[in-house]
Every structure is written in structure tokens, then in C-alpha cells.
Amino acid sequence: MRTTPATSSEVNSWIATLHQAGHLYRAENEPDGTWTVQRRRHSRPWTLHHPVLAMDWIEDLLHDLRQREAGRNR
């Protein structure tokens, strides 16, 4: 469990890493401090308005990626 709140720079790092690794089709840091992310080309884009909500979204994405990887290793 986290003991400190998420920061914008932490979210920027995670999103950039996931995008560079090919797990996000689109990732944009908007001027108003929000992030727009899209997992696949034809999936719906998400706008993440707060670092804590963004980290929740990232956590869900990482959970999904781990589940898929575990399924491939079976």
C-alpha cells in the first residue's frame, strides 16, 4: 500500500515507459495537466484527470498485462 500520493512526474514516467514498450497505442500529456491514453488503435481513449486516478488506471493495465503473460506461459 502506498504511503505517499502519486505525482504527475511519476505518472509521466509510467505512461512514457508503457508507451515505449508498446503497451499503449497513444499517450499524450495534455497542457491542462491531464493524460490521454489509448491501449489499442481501435479502443476508446481515456482521459486521466488526476495522478491518483492515473495510477489506478496504470495498475489495472499492469494487472491485465501480467494476467496475459501468465496465460501464455501455461
| Domain boundaries of the chain, sorted by first residue | 8-67
Helix (H), strand (E) at residue 32: none
Cell numbers for 40, please give them.
489499442
15-72: pLDDT as tens digits? 999 999 999 999 999 999 999 999 999 999 999 999 999 999 999 999 999 998 887 7
Whether the CB-CB separation of 33 and 8 falls below 8 Å is answered with yes
pLDDT at 26: 96
Q: The pTM is what? A: 0.86
Cell numbers for 47, please give them.
482521459
